[in-house]
Amino acid sequence: MPRTKADARTILSNVDIPTLEALERKILWLSSWMIHNANHVRESRDGLKVGGHQSSCASAATLLTALYLHSLRPEDRVAVKPHAAPVFHAIQYLLGRQDLAKLQDFRALGGAQSYPSRTKDTDDVDFSTGSVGLGVGATLFGAMVRDYVHHHGLAEGRPNGRLVALMGDAELDEGNVFEALLEGWKHDVRNLWWVIDYNRQSLDGVVHDYLFQRIKDFFGTVGWNVVELKYGKLQEAAFQRPGGDALRKWIDECPNQLYSALTFQGGDAWRNHLAADIGDVAGIKALLDDHDDAALHRLMTNLGGHDMSATLEAFADVGDDDTPQCFVAYTIKGFNTPLAGHKDNHSGLMNIEQMTSFKESHAIRDGHEWDVAEGLDLSEDTLKAFLADVPFAQRPARETSPKIPVAALPAPAGARMSTQEAFGQILNDLGRGDSELASRIVTTTPDVTVTTNMAGWVNQRGLFHHEDTADVFREEQVPSAFKWSAGPKGQHIELGIAENNLFLLLAALGLSDKLFGARLLPVGALYDPFIARGLDSLNYACYQDARFMAVATPSGITLAPEGGAHQSINSPLIGLSQPGLTSFEPAYADELAHIMGWGFEHMQADNGGSIYLRLSTLAIDQPKRDFATIADDVLAGAYWLREPAPGAELAIAYTGVIAPEAIAAHEALFEDIPGAGLLAVTSADRLYRDWQAATRAHVNGPGVAPSHIERLLGRLAPDAGLVTVLDGHPATLAWLGGVARHDIAALGVANFGQSGDLPDLYRTHGIDADAILDGAAAVITRRMRRRGALRPTAA
C-alpha cells in the first residue's frame, strides 16, 4: 500500500534534515572543487581544457544527496546522469567508498572518470552513463532482469531492490527512452524510478515551455505515476500568504527562458518583474517588502528539486507502491553557484575569482579543500556517525556469482544446412535437455524469433512474463508449429522491433551476476543489417563489460531477393573493431557448435567478453571430417581447409557462407597451381587481435612466438599472392596482405545491393568463383612480373 502524505511526514520527522542540507552544500562544494582543481589547479601538460560540468552538478546536488544519503537502499541500482559524475564521486567519498586521490585526479588517467563508468571507476558505479538516454533505458531493462532473476528463484534470500535513474531533462529527447518506455509497459515493468532533473536547460539552451505537460501525458499513457516536485517549502509557505495565489500563478506561467534569466540576474531583477506584473495584487507588495534581495532570490529559486524536505517527502510518499514513478523535479542549472540559470552554463566553469568567493561562502580554508568536515558546523565524529548510518553505506562489496559449467555442444547432423539452421538446432537441443547451462540461458529478439530459428527453443522454454498468459491460438486449436505461452518461468523475452532495446536488455541481462547476484547467459538474435540500428546500445553494453551472445542472421547479400535495405555490408568491420565483443563468422555447423560452446565460457571468463556470430540462411554442403584436428584453429580464427604445399605461391582465404565459391575456385585453379592453399577464416577479429598483440610484443623484445595467422601464412612463399573473399566489406580481410607482405586481391561487397538471385548478385559484386579466379590471376600475374618472367604490358 502506498503511504499517505501524512505517513511520509511522520517518517521524515525523525530525519535530520539540517545535516542532510549541510551535506548537500558539502557535496556541491566538493563537486565544484573537483572540477576546478582539474582545470585550474592541477598541472596541465597539453594545454587542453579538462572540462567538467559544474552547473549540471549543482542542478542535481539536492536530488542525489537525498537519494544516496537517505532514500536509497543497498540493494537499489542506480544510473546517474553523465554530467553529475563529480557529485556521485563526492558522495561516495563522503561515504568512505571513494579515494581522495581519485577525486584529485578527476578526468586524469587512473582518476575518477568524467562520466560514471562501471569498469573504470572504483566507487561501484551500477550503470555507466555518457551517451545520454542509454543509462535511463538501462534501468528499465534492469528492472525487467531483476524480476526475471526473482521469478526464476535465482536470487534466494536477496532483497528486491529498486532501479533508479537520475536523468537530465534533455535525455527525454533521445528516442531510445521512449522505445524503452513502451517496452516496459508491455512487460509490466515495476519498482523503477526515473527522477528527472528538470532544470529546463540542455546543452545549447532552454527547453520548451510546457514540456512538463507532455511528460505527464506520455508517462501516464504507459502506466507510470508522475510526481511533480515543483515548489520548495519556502514557496509553499509564501503561497499561503495574501497574494500567494498570484505568486504561484506567476511562477507557473513564467516562460522557462525568463525564469532562467532572472535566476542568473538575482533579487533585484525578480523584484522588478514581480512588481511590474503582479505588484497591484493585494499582499504582493508586503511580500516583496518582507524579503530583501537575497531572501527574494532564495524564495524564487526554492524549487522542489532544491528543497531537501520537499524532495525527501516526495520520495517517501511512494512507500511500497511498485508502480513505476517519474519524478519531475524542478531545478536550476548551476543552483547556488554564480553560473545559475545562464543559458550558456552547460560547459561553463567558475573562474578563479568566482571560485574564491564560492570558497569563502562555503567557509573552506586554503589547504583544507578536501577535508570532510571543513566548513560544516558539525564535528568530524558527528559527521562520521551520521554517514555510517546511511542505509546505502551498508552496501556490500561487489561480488560475482559462480560460473556455470559448459559441456561441449554437439554439432547438428545434416549433409546440407545453413549456420542459422544449425544455431536453431543447437539451441533447441539445449532446450530439450536439462543442463544447468540451459537453465541460465535467456533468449531475446526484437520480433524476429521465428525468422532467426529460435522458435524450437521457445517451444521448449516458453516466453517470460510476470503473469501466466495462455497461447490463444493453441487453445482455439488453430494449428501452428509455435507455442506462444508466457509465464514467470519462461526463458525467452520477446521484444518489439527496436534494436536499441535489444542491446539495452542484453546489457542488463549480461550484467545480471554483478547487478543481481545471479549469472545469466543471454543470447539475443537480430537481423545482421539492423545491428547498425542498435549500435550505440551495443557499444554501451560492451563498454559496461556486459556479457552476451549476439546472433546476427541473416547477413550479407546472400539474402539475395530481400534486396539492398536488408543486406549488411560493413557489419564484419563492426565485429572486427568493437572492443568487448569477439566476432565469428563460421561457414559450417560443426564450427558454429564449437564456437558457441567456447562463447558460453568466454562470456563467463574474468577477462572474457561478449560474442557476435554473423550467420546466414543459405544452406551449404557440410564437410565430413575429424573436427577435433581443427577445433583449436577454428577458435583461433582460421584453419587450412586445403593445406598449401610448402612455399605455395597462392592461397585463397574466405569467410563464412561464401565457402562453396572459394572451394569451387580453388578446385578450378588447382590444376595450374597444385600447391595452392584454401584458408577458412572463422574470425578475422581473433586473428587480427592476436596478430596485433604479437606485433606489439615483438616491438617490446625478441623471442615472441608468432601469431596464429603468421604461422598459417608462413607456409606460403614469401612472395605468394592472396585472394580474400567474404560476403561483407573487403577491408575485413584485406589486412591479411600485411601479415607476411603478400600481394593481395581483396574481394567483398563495398556497394549497396539490390534484389536478385545469388549468381547475379555474387557476379555483380565480384565474389563468385570467377571473380576469385580473376583475383588469383591478378596476383599471380603481378608476381610473375615482379620476378621478371613477364614484361609489363604497354599502357
**Beta carbon nearer to ligand TPP, 64 or 404:** 64
For residue 424, the minimal CB distance to ligand TPP (Å) is 35
Closest Cα to residue 137, out of 503, 544, 578, 496? 503
Cβ–Cβ under 8 Å, residues 177 and 171: yes
Adjacent-strand bridge partners of 439: none
Partner from Mg ion, ligand TPP, none binding residue 131, C-beta < 5-8 Å depending on class: ligand TPP
Extended beta strands in 269-415, E state: 325-330
Query: Does 199 help bind ligand TPP (rule: CB under 6 A)?
Result: yes
User: Cell match 550467420: residue?
Assistant: 615
**Beta carbon nearer to Mg ion, 218 or 370:** 218
Cβ–Cβ under 8 Å, residues 655 and 686: no
- Quote the Cα angle for 604-609-613, to 5°: 105
The contact mask relative to ligand TPP for 157-176 (x = CB under 6 A, - = no) is -----------xxxx-----
Binding ligand TPP by CB under 6 A: which of 26, 162, 333, 519?
333
**Beta carbon nearer to ligand TPP, 202 or 732:** 202
The residues, any chain, with a CB within 8 Å of residue 593's CB and separated by 6 or more, are 408, 409, 410, 411, 412, 422, 426
- Give the CA distances from residue 22 to residues 26, 73, 233, in Å, rounded to whole numbers and listed in that order: 6, 21, 17
The residues, any chain, with a CB within 8 Å of residue 188's CB and separated by 6 or more, are 465, 466, 467
Query: Does 39 help bind ligand TPP (rule: CB under 6 A)?
Result: no
Query: Does 260 help bind ligand TPP (rule: CB under 6 A)?
Result: no
Residues between 190 and 249 that touch Mg ion (CB under 5 A): 199, 201
The residues, any chain, with a CB within 8 Å of residue 759's CB and separated by 6 or more, are 768
Largest CA distance in the chain: 105
For residue 55, the minimal CB distance to ligand TPP (Å) is 7
- Rounded Cα gap, residues 171 and 189, in angstroms: 20
User: Cell match 573504470: residue?
Assistant: 120
The contact mask relative to Mg ion for 151-170 (x = CB under 5 A, - = no) is -----------------xxx
Query: Does 59 help bind ligand TPP (rule: CB under 6 A)?
Result: yes
Partner from ligand TPP, Mg ion, none binding residue 683, C-beta < 5-8 Å depending on class: none
- Rounded Cα gap, residues 248 and 250, in angstroms: 5
Cβ–Cβ under 8 Å, residues 695 and 751: no
Binding ligand TPP by CB under 6 A: which of 56, 65, 544, 707?
56
Amino acid letter, residue 788: G
Partner from ligand TPP, Mg ion, none binding residue 604, C-beta < 5-8 Å depending on class: none
User: Cell match 580474400: residue?
Assistant: 724
**Beta carbon nearer to ligand TPP, 83 or 566:** 83
Query: Does 331 help bind Mg ion (rule: CB under 5 A)?
Result: no
The contact mask relative to Mg ion for 117-156 (x = CB under 5 A, - = no) is ----------------------------------------
Binding ligand TPP by CB under 6 A: which of 19, 114, 201, 555?
201
**Beta carbon nearer to ligand TPP, 132 or 430:** 132
Q: Which stretch binds ligand TPP (CB under 6 A): 177-185, 195-203, 539-547, 549-557?
A: 195-203
Partner from Mg ion, ligand TPP, none binding residue 83, C-beta < 5-8 Å depending on class: ligand TPP
Query: Does 347 help bind ligand TPP (rule: CB under 6 A)?
Result: no
**Beta carbon nearer to ligand TPP, 25 or 333:** 333
Region at 453 (left for phi over 0; alpha for psi -120 to 50; beta for the rest):
left
Binding ligand TPP by CB under 6 A: which of 202, 325, 491, 555?
202
- Burial of residue 683 (CB within 10 Å: 0-12, 13-18, 19+) is buried
Question: What does the DSSP assignment read for 682-706?
Answer: S-HHHHHHHHHHHHHHHHH-S-PPP
The contact mask relative to ligand TPP for 131-150 (x = CB under 6 A, - = no) is xx------------------
**Beta carbon nearer to ligand TPP, 202 or 553:** 202
Query: Does 83 help bind ligand TPP (rule: CB under 6 A)?
Result: yes
For residue 164, the minimal CB distance to Mg ion (Å) is 18
Residues that bind ligand TPP (CB under 6 A): 56, 59, 81-83, 131-132, 168-171, 197, 199, 201-203, 333, 346
Residues that bind Mg ion (CB under 5 A): 168-170, 199, 201
